[in-house]
Amino acid sequence: MVGTTGSGKTTFARELARNLGVPHIELDAIRHQAGWVELPDTVFRERLAMATAGDGWVVDGNYGGIGARDIVWPKADTLVWLDTPLIVNLWRVTRRSIRRMVTREELWNGNRETFANFFLSRQSLFIWALRSHGRKRRELPLLLTRPEYAHLRVFRLRRPREARRWLATVAPAGG
């Protein structure tokens, strides 16, 4: 499961994993340790390799630059790309972050979003969504033409409604 920040990757992946009866693996939960400290790349890759050692799973997240793609994509049979419009992503990430700030929702390992890290930080998710959206739209189609990824069934879902319809086609586990 790939897509820009705010595209709905985690929500979609969680529901897909539930329908398939397999584990949901959230890359951010592995990467971000307490205090927003990032795992060293080698440790992150080791943990990801262990998490994807089983027969079935749904992974959400990108992390191509540190090699997560090289671990996950060769083992996967399907890639879902939530390629929603930038305005949708910005609205979702803003709404989600404000809700998390108000409720003090824990994300992973004790981490919480704050006003400062959303609006004032150089690592702001809002700014990240702005910067990465166009790049993903340029880079992913090129990556998907590489021979080592030819085995993947790719579903590029461009609208939230399209994503909901596709998800509804995946039969729940045991059903």
pLDDT, tens digit, for every residue of 21-37?
999 999 999 999 988 88
42 occurs within a structural domain: yes
The C-alpha atoms of residue 143 and residue 62 are separated, in whole angstroms, by 13
107 occurs within a structural domain: no
Q: pLDDT tens across 107-125, in order?
A: 888 888 887 777 777 778 8
114 occurs within a structural domain: no
38 occurs within a structural domain: yes
Domain membership of residue 38 as a residue range: 2-84+135-168
Whether the pLDDT of residue 174 is over 90: the answer is no
162 occurs within a structural domain: yes
CB-based contact 2:79 (threshold 8 Å)? yes
What is the predicted pLDDT for the residue at 106?
87
Please work out, in degrees rounded to the nearest 5, the angle formed at the alpha carbon of residue 13 by the alpha carbons of 8 and 15. 100
Q: Which helix (H) or strand (E) holds 58?
A: strand 58-60
Whether the pLDDT of residue 158 is over 60: the answer is yes
The domain tally of the chain equals 1
Could you tell me which residues come within 8 angstroms of residue 103 by beta carbon, excluding any fewer than 6 positions away? none
The C-alpha atoms of residue 101 and residue 96 are separated, in whole angstroms, by 9
- The encoded tokens of residue 134 equal 């166009």
46 occurs within a structural domain: yes
CATH number at residue 11: 3.40.50.300
pTM of the model: 0.90
Q: pLDDT tens across 67-99, in order?
A: 799 999 999 999 999 999 999 999 999 998 899
140 occurs within a structural domain: yes
124 occurs within a structural domain: no
What is the predicted pLDDT for the residue at 175?
56
